[in-house]
Amino acid sequence: MRKIIKSLQVSFWFMFLTFPIMVIRVDTIEKTVQWRWLNLLYVGLASFFLSFIWRFLIKKKEEGSKKEESGEQTITIVQKIISTPKYNRPIYSFIFLFMLAFPWIVSTYQTNIMISALIYVMLGLGLNIVVGIAGLLDLGYVAFYAVGAYAYALLNYHYHLGFWTVLPIGGLLAAIFGILLGIPVLRLRGDYLAIVTLGFGEIIRLILENWNEFSFGPSGIANIPRPGFFGMKLGVEEATIYIYYLMILMTIITIFVVNRLQNSRLGRAWLALREDEVACEAMGIDRMKTKLAAFALGATWAGFAGVIFAAKTTFINPASFTFLESAIILSIVVLGGMGSIVGVILAAFLMILLPEYLRAFSEYRMLLFGAAMVLVMVFRPQGLIPSVRRKYVYELKER
């Protein structure tokens, strides 16, 4: 009974809260007011029921955290499967085979969506180096993505350079941008770094939008060629499949690289930097150099992804590189679980594919997207699949 009263209170509060915006619509030109009382009813009902679920989940979460305090590091089944080769090998091989067969099972349209998802996997893993592993909050990651995309578009437009030539150039350019930005700003503490990188991202976008002679302004650049296959020109369908396999290859390379970086001297230094900067320096780690390496490497992947993105869509304009993109990529990293490769991949697929397949609710897509971000953070702040520290096996090798 008390629960019902509480939910009633919640529902009244929300009905009151949403009253002006949900119910009244003013047309300032016609000078008419439209009243939509039915909306109020929906809000009331929805919040009444949702408040039950909310309280239930909060309660469950609290119980869970109590358990964690008393026990040791709780490792879920999923984490265990991922970290033991015996279980994960068959799963990974199955996924791999499925991904290989994918373009032959479904339409070009679906393949295109999958390419987008894979691009975001790459971006997520790249940003994961910066945010997840090194703990540097970068809100302007999309700028490096833009650098890659425009590098291909412009170099192709002016000098007719091909995809394969520009791919490394794009990565390199993005890395150089990362270093140029990193040198002045990496001294800043967490949140200041966040806002400066955000500012940098916006500056790049605004320059692209306004400097018409250089970037063709808001109208963007069209007719960017798709990558050629040993000089052959491919049709749209073949090109899509070709890019798809290219993306699979790039993703595998990315996973490989991030994995290696993570388990190296450099990767450990990044982790330590995330944990405690003062202790890090006292242990002989050069803070600037290590941070710059993270920034540059992260940017490189964005650069690669940008080149591929330009080649895939054949048209780019500044509107593709807004802050929302940065926010989505960052959400992928945090949602997946900071520093966790598998988590990031899973999150990238969820974030990109779900909205695509939710087109039925197309209008509500972004609304649900925002709500989902909040809910996942509230109920699973450590991410979908938190990273597990590596265990070293060598022990008892007596000398």
- Is the separation of the CB atoms in 226 and 234 below 8 Å? yes
For tokens 């990031």, what's the residue? 344
DSSP annotation of 232 = B
- Collapsing DSSP to helix, strand or coil, 204 comes out as helix
Closer residue to other proteins (CB): 72 or 357: 72
Burial pattern 140-176, b for ≥16 Cβ within 10 A else e, equals bbbbbbbbbbbbbbbbbeeeeeebeebbebbbbbbbe
Here the tokens at position 131 are: 């945010």
The answer to whether 334 contacts other proteins (rule: CB under 8 A) is: yes
Q: Which of residues 287-306 bind other proteins (CB under 8 A)?
A: 287, 293, 297
Which window, 86-94, 113-121, 233-241, 268-276, contacts other proteins (CB under 8 A)? 268-276
Which of 5, 53, 105, 282 touches other proteins by CB under 8 A?
Answer: 282
Closer residue to other proteins (CB): 245 or 323: 323
Which window, 93-101, 109-117, 162-170, 383-391, contacts other proteins (CB under 8 A)? 383-391
CB of 260 to other proteins, least distance (A): 6
Which window, 27-35, 119-127, 145-153, 232-240, contacts other proteins (CB under 8 A)? 27-35
Which of 130, 266, 345, 384 touches other proteins by CB under 8 A?
Answer: 266
Which window, 99-107, 151-159, 238-246, 361-369, contacts other proteins (CB under 8 A)? 361-369
Angle at 255 between CA 86 and CA 297, to 5 degrees: 150
CB of 101 to other proteins, least distance (A): 30
Closer residue to other proteins (CB): 235 or 395: 395
The answer to whether 63 contacts other proteins (rule: CB under 8 A) is: no
Which window, 119-127, 155-163, 280-288, 344-352, contacts other proteins (CB under 8 A)? 280-288
CB of 372 to other proteins, least distance (A): 7
CB-based burial label for 212 (10 Å; 0-12, 13-18, 19+): exposed
Q: Which of residues 68-107 bind other proteins (CB under 8 A)?
A: 72-73
The answer to whether 231 contacts other proteins (rule: CB under 8 A) is: no
How far is it, in rounded angstroms, from Cα 48 to Cα 5? Answer: 10
DSSP annotation of 33 = E
- Collapsing DSSP to helix, strand or coil, 229 comes out as strand
The answer to whether 28 contacts other proteins (rule: CB under 8 A) is: yes
Q: Pick the closest to residue 181 from 319, 310, 173 (CA basis).
A: 173
Task: Identify each DSSP E strand in the chain by its residue range.
Answer: 24-27, 32-35
The answer to whether 58 contacts other proteins (rule: CB under 8 A) is: yes
Which window, 15-23, 94-102, 232-240, 241-249, contacts other proteins (CB under 8 A)? 15-23
How far is it, in rounded angstroms, from Cα 255 to Cα 244? Answer: 16
From residue 168 to residue 207, the character string flagging contacts with other proteins as x (rule: CB under 8 A) and all else as - is ----------------xx-xxxxxx-xxx-xxx-xx--xx
Closer residue to other proteins (CB): 6 or 390: 390
CB-based burial label for 97 (10 Å; 0-12, 13-18, 19+): exposed
Here the tokens at position 150 are: 């425009």
Residue 90, CA distances (Å) to 81, 82, 94, 99, 348 in order: 11, 11, 6, 14, 22
C-alpha neighbours within 13 Å on the C-beta side of residue 358: 15
Q: Which of residues 103-142 bind other proteins (CB under 8 A)?
A: 131, 137
